[in-house]
């Protein structure tokens, strides 16, 4: 039986192994290494103040954002929906900025930093450039929760277009409103009017590739998202990002506002202004889970190494 790492992992070791497992160079992003930097606007809903007093969510602002995908090249079609997509965005202005990092699956692939490091090391390529599948299977059997992300993606492949994908923040964020009331929320970012889009949109995306499709839809002013807050219930798990809240798809959600993507930006604009999930304006607190604490450090490390 192969021996898997144990003990205290650190964010830097995870960043290094992420790059090594994917065969990436030191100054390349450790994950979601290609994407498109974009700009837009955010308009809050009348309900936003009931959830949070954070001015980044209750006031109109400009938006800097980045669409991305893991595991495929920039012009890939991804017709089988196997890639994990990402959508990171910054709301607010001045000292009231919030960076929100979301992805196309509502769970993470590891519960703790140690487990995340072991997951990646089990998949490190061998001398033949391929991972040892016996080692991967042994690790998965001992850590079944690490399969939930891939299982969800296999059962729910995203649309062919980045613009029509639904994105989740996998963490539970404590949100405090103007009355001082605090509850946990999860972010869900859903395309506006997705249910009304004809099937030929998907056909167009499949024929052009992810980024070219996105660029054409931005030019047509056809990229807008509702920023939703899923509301907690007593007993919801807030420390484990590998599991969803019970009946998460059917529970109450409040629309915080709408993001409209209006144009593209040079990729350097997103590189210079890293989306660090630790950047949250007062009224949205840091989630209590271990992965969030590691992620905020890993993002800073990854940017520093790329400079």
pLDDT digits (tens, 9 = 90+) for 35-59: 899 999 999 999 999 999 999 999 9
CA distance linking residue 111 with residue 100, whole number of Å = 20
Locate 184 and state its tokens: 């946990």
C-beta separation of 238 from 289 below 8 A? yes
Specify the CATH number for the domain of residue 155. Answer: 2.40.180.10
> Which SS3 state, helix, strand or coil, does residue 58 take?
helix
Q: Which domain holds residue 279?
A: 11-306
Give the contacts of 146 (CB within 8 A, at least 6 positions apart): 109, 110, 115, 119, 139, 140, 242
Is residue 6 included in any domain, yes or no?
no
Q: What is the pLDDT of residue 196?
A: 42
pLDDT digits (tens, 9 = 90+) for 245-277: 999 999 989 999 999 999 999 988 887 667 889
Query: pTM for this one?
Result: 0.86
pLDDT at 177: 97
The string of DSSP letters for 257-306 reads: EEEEEEEE--HHHHHHS---TT---TTBPPP-SHHHHHHHHHHHHHHHHH
In a domain? residue 232:
yes
E strands present in 136-281: 167-168, 173-176, 182-191, 224-231, 253-264
- List the pLDDT tens digit at each of the 307 positions of the chain: 333 344 457 666 666 666 555 555 555 554 666 789 999 999 999 999 999 999 999 999 999 999 998 765 555 444 445 688 999 999 999 999 999 999 999 999 999 988 988 898 888 888 888 889 999 999 999 999 999 999 999 999 888 899 999 999 999 999 999 999 999 999 999 999 754 454 444 444 454 588 889 999 999 988 999 999 999 999 999 999 999 999 999 998 999 999 999 999 998 888 766 788 999 999 999 999 999 988 877 666 655 554 5
Cβ(121)–Cβ(4) under 8 Å? yes
Other beta carbons within 10 angstroms of residue 95's beta carbon come to 8
- The pLDDT score that the predictor gives to residue 13 is 63
Say if 87 falls within a structural domain.
yes
The answer to whether position 230 is within a domain reads: yes
Residue 80: per-residue pLDDT: 46
Report if residue 301 sits inside a domain: yes
Q: Based on the structure, what is the number of domains in the chain?
A: 1
Domain assignment present for 5: no
What's the N-to-C CA distance of the chain in angstroms? 40
3-state SS assignment for residue 68? strand
184 Cβ contact list (under 8 Å, min separation 6): 172, 173, 174, 175, 232, 236, 238
Yes or no: say if 69 and 32 are a contact pair by the CB < 8 Å rule.
Answer: yes
In this prediction, residue 298 carries a pLDDT of 67
**Considering the domain boundaries, does residue 175 fall inside one?**
yes
Looking at residue 195, its pLDDT comes to 47
Q: Is 271 inside a domain boundary?
A: yes
Torsion of CA 100, 104, 108, 113, to 10 degrees: -50
**Crossing angle of helices 290-306/11-22, nearest 10°?**
70
């Amino acid at each position: 039986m192969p021996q898997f790492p144990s003990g205290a992992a650190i964010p830097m070791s995870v960043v290094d192994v992420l790059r090594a497992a994917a065969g990436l160079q030191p100054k390349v992003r450790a994950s979601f290494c290609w994407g498109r930097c974009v700009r837009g606007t955010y308009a809050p809903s009348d309900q936003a103040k009931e959830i949070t007093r954070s001015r980044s969510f209750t006031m109109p602002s400009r938006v800097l954002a980045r669409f991305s995908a893991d595991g495929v090249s920039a012009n890939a079609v991804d017709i089988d929906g196997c890639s994990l997509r990402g959508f990171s965005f910054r709301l607010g202005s001045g000292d009231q900025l919030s960076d929100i990092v979301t992805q196309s699956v509502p769970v993470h692939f590891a519960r703790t930093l140690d487990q995340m490091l072991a997951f990646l090391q089990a998949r490190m390529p061998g001398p033949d450039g391929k991972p040892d599948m016996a080692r991967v299977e042994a690790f998965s059997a001992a850590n079944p929760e690490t399969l939930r992300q891939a299982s969800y993606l296999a059962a729910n492949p995203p649309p062919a277009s980045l613009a029509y994908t639904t994105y989740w923040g996998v963490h539970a964020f404590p949100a405090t409103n103007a009355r001082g009331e605090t509850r946990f929320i999860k972010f869900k970012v859903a395309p506006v009017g997705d249910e009304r889009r004809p099937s030929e949109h998907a056909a167009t995306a499949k024929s052009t590739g992810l980024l070219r499709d996105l660029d054409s839809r931005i030019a047509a002013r056809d990229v807008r998202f509702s920023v939703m807050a899923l509301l907690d219930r007593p007993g919801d798990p807030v420390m484990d990002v590998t599991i969803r809240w019970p009946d998460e798809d059917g529970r109450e959600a409040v629309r915080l506002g709408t993001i409209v993507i209006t144009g593209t930006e040079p990729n350097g604009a997103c590189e210079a202004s890293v989306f660090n999930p630790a950047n949250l304006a007062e009224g949205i607190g840091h989630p209590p889970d271990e992965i969030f604490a590691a992620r905020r450090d890993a993002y800073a490390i990854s940017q520093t190494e790329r400079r």
